[in-house]
Chain A
Amino acid sequence: MSEIEKHNYDVLVVGAGGAGLRAAIAARQAGLRVAVISKSLFGKAHTVMAEGGIAASMGNVNPRDNWQVHFRDTMRGGKFLNNWRMAELHAKEAPLRVWELETYGALFDRTKDGKISQRNFGGHEYPRLAHVGDRTGLELIRTLQQKIVSLQQDDARAINHEGADEGKMKVFAECTITELLKDDSGRISGAFGYYRETGGLVLFRAPAVILATGGIGKSFKVTSNSWEYTGDGHALALRTGSALLNMEFVQFHPTGMVWPPSVKGILVTESVRGDGGVLRNSEGKRFMFDYVPPVFRGQYAETEEEGDRWYEDPDNNKRPPELLPRDEVARAINSEVKAGRGSPHGGVFLDIASRRPADEILRRLPSMYHQFKELADVDITAEPMEVGPTCHYVMGGVEVDPDTAAATGVPGLFAAGEVAGGMHGSNRLGGNSLSDLLVFGRRAGDGAAAYVATLKGIYPAVTEGQLREAERTALTPFDVATSPEAENPYALHAELQQTMNDLVGIIRKEEEMREAIEKLESLKERTPRAGVEGGRRFNPGWHLALDLRNMLVVSLTVAKAALLRQESRGGHTRDDFPKMEPEWRAKNLICTTDGDEVIVVEQPMIPMREDLLELFDRDELAKYLTDAELPQEVQSS
């Protein structure tokens, strides 16, 4: 048995992306002692990769924008499966959260009158995304990182020290949480993990844990996501007895790079289309005009001319169909490639070169220019890009209370950001994640602080037995390494990714999903035998062996929920059930685990509040809701 380092905190934030950092700021500002834990270095979380912008209805570019319009767009984008209370809070609070960033030092691009500039994005009725070129996520994470430092500097000043004081808020970088701990009464008591750098084990005692661990994309082969996205938070929540919802909804971003093979999946920001880029097939045709689905008919331009006019005069023209929500565009590209009208490397063409002057492209999309130039030898100011769908975001996640971010079923557990479910329904609009991180990150910090206050200083205990158990699990990959049946974690991972990509990908069929579940179950049997060579110091093989356990249980929730939901909606497309069914809209699928077994059950949705329903035309609602759910027909006078 090895020495285990021990710490005591009031609130533990697992994750140092936008959601985690915003939560930590809120909890610290409520007077609590906070630890932030992150698998990578401080400032490198996935949020840093976000490009396009943060959605908030500030109305700086088009004054007609307001929270109601944003709410409507979000619900439409999610095909009305969203948790409407979350969508409401998000739309109302996003502007305040963005303005707040300026007081932390963020420098957004500006409008002519000096306000924060806002750009167009798919599914947003007005220009709504606050941005910094195409590196908005970097600005967001650096700003929050610098705000954390500034709070540490305040703490130092309060005790007459210079510089920063880490006594009340500390970031534990390159540290992975492997287990959450509960006391006898089922309340959170802490978390257990290891330092990646040294391999040392560590216990954090804390009555409140906020999960802000991001997504699950590393279970898929073609993805825009980094190694961090192994669904740890999703799996931790399941193992602790909480629940996940909407796991069948995985967003495939329509435009990932397709060539060269080593960069396949890397994101090409939607701003390319927001700023005038168009999609063409091998025949040179702007095919998106053929793919406007009935629910959106009438809201998008029907001719290229009208679509083009919209960039200059959005009040009198409809937007081009390249800016439909992502699920629609991804499916359209998929169909074009299948029909043999794809580009040489199996994608379609994304063309901005022929549509905008080179200097404008360079100014608005500098990092895209850089990315294509350096990785694919393509000059996007002179030639079209080749793009295709890539696994990008998981709409599903921990079931939470909208107002406090408290996770279902486990007192002291909270979740915010991509790891939380509900907000985006069946499909997330671009830009709505960064705003989600800020709105619900803050709410989670406040929610955790309010919960901790109710404990009056008496915190749930961690037992020695729990510690030893967690230690045993964490070190298993070293013990099994010498067994003749030992498996290579990298090979297991590759099998898992191929399975999810081929069988539970963008278009799904019953037989394939059954096959996937079988494969996943057999991988689940083999994973405990994943062995590693070498020692405990920064050993990526060991890290992966432990992450695999999480990826597998999360992949099983995706596959099992996808098999159950017999309709197509947002990020879930069934070849065998191609239609959207109002009966299914009224239901969420809830995943829990019993031991190793994943269980999925249906749960009715809470009907939308009257005043929110009134924001929509009855005709539009009728496309999504069952007759029984529709508001009473008002007598026309």
Chain B
Amino acid sequence: MSYDAQFRVWRGDDEGGDLVDYTVEVNEGEVVLDIIHRLQATQAGDLAVRWNCKAGKCGSCSAEINGRPRLMCMTRMSTFAENETITVTPLRAFPVMKDLVTDVSFNYKKAQQVPAFAPPPGLEPGEYRLAQIDVERPQEFRKCIECFLCQDVCHVVRDHEENKESFSGPRFLMRIAELDMHPLDALDRQHTAQEEHGLGMCNITKCCTEVCPEHIKITDNALIPLKERVVDRKYDPVVWLGNKIRRRPS
């Protein structure tokens, strides 16, 4: 049941690199990450790759497999033909550090720019009462494992480095939507989503939704509703003003 597969893996660092060919054994039930590990143990001891859980739970092992952003631990070898050459390259939207490892600090900076959950004043720990139906919407977004595949695939930054400054990407726009839908969050989120995180630059292509390994409906359930709420607010000067005034004292 074993066979030898042809792999092409990008090897190199920030100064340059190239695709390197390997012939490597594959056994029944294995995933791409298993093959990368076999390369490490037998042919390329210093091949750099991130991983932790090997079960699609931590979002560490993101890479591009035949050009498509995926989790290596959740990509089964049985989805490829035995004679197919499998190309594994690092995420394209982020600067490469070494081999399959990229510098994803962009994402952590964006995370720091989203104001944290603001608990409602006067509610003590243990007093929170929430209906299951109300938590389900934001809960969908909290399934996010921060694999950053959506950040990698979104064309707003994938081909336009210059947009990174003003665009937080689907992962963090979704985080804003999550807080906006949190039944107890006390901050106004809609204005900042548009003005500071570049919600307007998203033209709802849904590429992010397609690659999300958690199957979160990023575009339909987070981005579009957020856009709609922003639009409603924009044309309603009273709500807009009311918010501004309410925000001051905090």
Residues of A at the B interface (CB closer than 8 Å) are 40-44, 46, 48-49, 58, 95-96, 99-100, 102-105, 107-110, 112-115, 117, 132-133, 135, 138-139, 142, 146-147, 149-150, 152-153, 163-164, 197, 226-228, 259-263, 266-267, 367, 370-371, 374-376, 488-491, 494, 532-535, 537-542
Let me know if B228 is at the binding interface, CB within 8 A.
Answer: no
| Nearest A-chain residue to B131, judged by Cβ | A114
Q: Is the CB of A114 within 8 A of B29?
A: no
Q: Interface digits, B171-186 against A, CB 8 Å rule (1 contact, 0 not)?
A: 0000000010010010
Q: Is the CB of B182 within 8 A of A105?
A: yes
Q: Interface digits, B42-74 against A, CB 8 Å rule (1 contact, 0 not)?
A: 100111111111111111100000000000001
State in angstroms the CA–CA spacing of A146 and B125 once bound together: 18
Let me know if B152 is at the binding interface, CB within 8 A.
Answer: no
Q: Is the CB of A146 within 8 A of B129?
A: no
Known contacts A48-B57, A259-B29, A263-B29; A539/B128 CB under 8 A: no
Known contacts A132-B142, A197-B101; A40/B60 CB under 8 A: yes
Known contacts A49-B57, A262-B30, A532-B45; A40/B117 CB under 8 A: no
- Chain B residues with CB below 8 A from A541, complex form: 40, 45-46
State in angstroms the CA–CA spacing of A112 and B1 once bound together: 51
Q: Is the CB of A135 within 8 A of B76?
A: no
Let me know if B231 is at the binding interface, CB within 8 A.
Answer: no
B244 to chain A, nearest CB (A): 18
A115, A152, A542: the one contacting B129 at CB < 8 Å is: A115
Let me know if B135 is at the binding interface, CB within 8 A.
Answer: yes
State in angstroms the CA–CA spacing of A503 and B126 once bound together: 47
The interface-forming segment of B106-114, B161-169, B204-212, B218-226 is B106-114
State in angstroms the CA–CA spacing of A316 and B31 once bound together: 47
Let me know if B188 is at the binding interface, CB within 8 A.
Answer: no
- Chain B residues with CB below 8 A from A540, complex form: 40, 45-49
A125 to chain B, nearest CB (A): 22
State in angstroms the CA–CA spacing of A424 and B96 once bound together: 43
Residues of B at the A interface (CB closer than 8 Å) are 13, 27-31, 34, 40-42, 45-60, 74, 76, 97-99, 101, 103-104, 108, 111-113, 115-117, 119, 125-126, 128-132, 135, 138-139, 142-146, 179, 182, 185
Q: Is the CB of B117 within 8 A of A104?
A: yes
Q: Is the CB of B46 within 8 A of A226?
A: no
A28 to chain B, nearest CB (A): 14
- Chain A residues with CB below 8 A from B45, complex form: 488-490, 532-534, 539-541
Listed from nearest, the 3 A-B pairs whose CB atoms lie closest are A260-B29, A534-B46, A150-B116
State in angstroms the CA–CA spacing of A263 and B34 once bound together: 9
A43, A46, A539: the one contacting B48 at CB < 8 Å is: A539
- Chain A residues with CB below 8 A from B46, complex form: 532-535, 539-542
A44, A375, A535: the one contacting B52 at CB < 8 Å is: A44
Q: Is the CB of B40 within 8 A of A150?
A: no
- Chain A residues with CB below 8 A from B31, complex form: 262, 375
A18 to chain B, nearest CB (A): 14
Q: Is the CB of B112 within 8 A of A152?
A: yes
| Nearest A-chain residue to B125, judged by Cβ | A99
Known contacts A44-B59, A149-B111, A538-B99; A110/B130 CB under 8 A: yes
28 pairs of residues in contact across A and B, judged by CB atoms under 8 Å: A44-B52, A44-B59, A46-B52, A48-B53, A58-B126, A96-B126, A99-B125, A110-B130, A110-B132, A117-B132, A139-B142, A142-B144, A150-B117, A152-B112, A153-B115, A197-B98, A226-B51, A227-B51, A262-B29, A371-B56, A374-B74, A375-B29, A489-B45, A490-B42, A533-B46, A537-B98, A539-B45, A540-B46
A496 to chain B, nearest CB (A): 14
A44, A263, A532: the one contacting B54 at CB < 8 Å is: A263
Q: Is the CB of A146 within 8 A of B29?
A: no
B64 to chain A, nearest CB (A): 18
Q: Is the CB of A40 within 8 A of B116?
A: no
- Knowing that A261-B29, A371-B56, A540-B48 touch, tell me 17 more A-B residue pairs with CB under 8 angstroms: A41-B60, A48-B58, A105-B119, A107-B142, A117-B132, A138-B142, A138-B145, A149-B111, A164-B112, A197-B98, A263-B29, A263-B54, A266-B55, A490-B42, A532-B46, A533-B45, A537-B97
State in angstroms the CA–CA spacing of A96 and B125 once bound together: 7
B185 to chain A, nearest CB (A): 8
State in angstroms the CA–CA spacing of A199 and B50 once bound together: 15
Q: Is the CB of A374 within 8 A of B52?
A: no
Known contacts A533-B45, A540-B49; A374/B76 CB under 8 A: yes
- Chain A residues with CB below 8 A from B112, complex form: 149, 152-153, 163-164
- Chain A residues with CB below 8 A from B56, complex form: 367, 370-371, 374
| Nearest A-chain residue to B215, judged by Cβ | A370
| Nearest A-chain residue to B148, judged by Cβ | A41
- Chain A residues with CB below 8 A from B97, complex form: 197, 537-538
B53, B143, B146: the one contacting A49 at CB < 8 Å is: B53
A115, A149, A197, A367: the one contacting B116 at CB < 8 Å is: A149
State in angstroms the CA–CA spacing of A96 and B142 once bound together: 22
| Nearest A-chain residue to B28, judged by Cβ | A260
Q: Is the CB of B52 within 8 A of A228?
A: yes
